Amino acid sequence: MAASSGQTIAQKILARAAGRDTVAPGEYVNCVPDHVVTQEMVWPVHKRNLEKIGATKFARPEKAIIVIDHTPAAATGSPHAATHHMLRKLTREFGVENFYGPNTGLRHLVLVERGFARPGSLIFSDEGNIASIGAVGALNIPMSTDVLAPLLKDQHWVCVPKTVRIELVGSLPFGVTGRDLVQAIIRDHEQAGTFLQCCVEYGGPALAGLSLDDRQAILASTFHTGSDTAIMDVDQRALEYVEERANGRPYEVVRSDPDADYAAVLTYDLSQLTPMVTVPPTQSGAVDVAQVAGRRIDHAAIGSCANNRLEDLRAAAAILRGRRIAPHVTMYISPGSQNVYAAAAREGLLEVFAEAGATVLSPGCNTCWGYLGVLSGDDVSITTHQFNYQGRNGSTEAAVHLASPYTVAASAVAGEITDPRPLLAGRI
C-alpha cells in the first residue's frame, strides 16, 4: 500500500491507539485500548491463567468492564453461581468498578447505553458481535482468551484490518428491517470470504433512515460475514444518542479520508429487500421468507445481541398486540438490558407479550446460546438469534431459523414460518 493514501475510520482509530500517524492494512501493531470488556463464561479460565502468571492487579482497572450477561439467575446445581461469586470477589480485589451483575444487560448494550463506547473509542472485547458499538463510531477488536493480556498490560497486538465500504441507498420497504439486510449481506459474502480480515464500514444516504437499534442489529451480525469487525459513519442521529450518554466524557468523530484505501466498495439498495429467513445450519442460507413459508414451528424467540433492543420489542409487539401465539408454539422474549426492560414495561409491551402467551425472560443472552428455553429432539425454531448451527440451542437434531423480530413474531402467531407483512398491515 502506498504510504500516501488516505486512512479509513478503523485505520485512524488504531493509529491513534498505536501512537502512530498512520497504519497500513495487514500490519501488526500494539494498541492501547480505551476499554477492555469481558463476560463471565471464560472467567474461570482467565482466573486460572492469572494464577499461572502470578498477576494480582490490572494495569488500568478503570478500563476494565466485566458483565454477567450469559448466565443471569444461575439455577440450582449450576456451576455459574460460583463464577458470579468469584467475579464479585475478584472485581473488589482488583478494584474494577465497572462490574455489572446479573440482569444488567449484554456487554453490547452496556457499552453504548452507559457511554463507554463513544465516537473514536477503541474497545478490546471477547466477542465479534460487539461490533454493534460501531453504531456510535467505536471500534471493536474481538479477542480470544488473550483478552487477559490488555487487562494486565494496557496494550495488545492487533492486525490492522483492510476496510470494505458498504454504501446503503434507498429505504427499507414495509415490514423489512436491518436484520433482513444483514442476512442478505451474509448470504452474499460469507462463503466467498470477501470480508476476511476486514472492517466493514457502513455509510450512505440510507443511514439517516435507520434507527440506532436497527444499526446495531446490522453491525452485531456483520461478524458472520467472516469480517474482523464493523463500524458506521456517525451522523447527527448517532451524535444525539452519544451526547445524551457521554456525561461529559470526551470523544472525537472519526471519518475516512476521501482517498482512503478500500479493499472493496459495495452498494446495497434497501428498497430491493424482502423479509429474509436464514435456513439452518449455515449462516449463508438466507432465502426470501416465501421459500420457507408454511414450515411448522415449535419454538420462537426474540433476543440476542442482534435484536434485543427497544425497537425490536416494539416490532414484536406490533404483531402480537391483541393476538395469541399458536397453541403448539413456545415463545421467549429476552430484553437486552435493564433499560430496555424498563422502557418496555413503561410502554406496555410486557403486557402485550404476556397476553399473547409469550414468556419474558430477564435481560441476558439466555436463549441464544441455549442457556434457557432450550430445544429438544427435532424441534423447529425461528429466532432473532445470532447462530443457527446444529446443537447451538440444546439439540443437534433441532432446526433453528434466523429472521427479523417481525417475521419471528408473525411465525409464532401463525404456528408456522410466515411473511409478517399481512399481519403488520395497518399497525406500523
Contact (CB, 8 A) for 263 and 295:
no
- From 23, 111, 130, 148, residue interacting with another protein (rule: CB under 8 A): 148
Chain positions 164 to 223 lying near another protein, rule: CB under 8 A, are 191, 193, 196-197
**Cβ at position 67, least distance to another protein in Å:** 18
HEC per residue, 203-226: ECHHHHHCCHHHHHHHHHHHHHHC
Q: Is 346 in the site for another protein (CB under 8 A)?
A: no
| Of 148 and 408, CB closest to another protein | 148
- CA dist., res. 412 & res. 328, Å (int): 9
- In the three-class reduction of DSSP (H, G, I as helix; E, B as strand; rest coil), residue 126 is classed as coil
Beta bridge partners of 300: 331, 382
Q: Is 157 in the site for another protein (CB under 8 A)?
A: yes
**Cβ at position 248, least distance to another protein in Å:** 34
Q: Is 99 in the site for another protein (CB under 8 A)?
A: no
Query: What cell numbers appear for 169 in the block?
Result: 441507498
- CA dist., res. 163 & res. 167, Å (int): 13
Length of the chain: 428
Scanning 46-54, 112-120, 258-266, 331-339 for contacts with another protein by CB under 8 A, the matching segment is: 46-54
**Cβ at position 55, least distance to another protein in Å:** 6
- From 6, 55, 73, 274, residue interacting with another protein (rule: CB under 8 A): 55
- CA dist., res. 375 & res. 362, Å (int): 19
Q: Is 156 in the site for another protein (CB under 8 A)?
A: yes
- From 119, 134, 137, 226, residue interacting with another protein (rule: CB under 8 A): 226
- CA dist., res. 174 & res. 275, Å (int): 10
Per-position x/- string for 352-391, each x denoting binding to another protein as judged by CB under 8 A, each - no binding? ---------------------------------------x
Scanning 67-75, 144-152, 398-406, 419-427 for contacts with another protein by CB under 8 A, the matching segment is: 144-152
Q: Is 61 in the site for another protein (CB under 8 A)?
A: no
At 2, phi and psi to the nearest 5? -70, 135
At 366, phi and psi to the nearest 5? 45, -105
Contact (CB, 8 A) for 315 and 409:
yes
**Cβ at position 195, least distance to another protein in Å:** 10
The verdict on whether omega for the bond into residue 79 sits within 30 degrees of 0, i.e. cis, is no
Binding site for another protein (CB under 8 A): 26-30, 41, 44, 49, 52-55, 79, 128, 142-146, 148-149, 152-153, 156-157, 159, 161, 191, 193, 196-197, 226, 228, 391
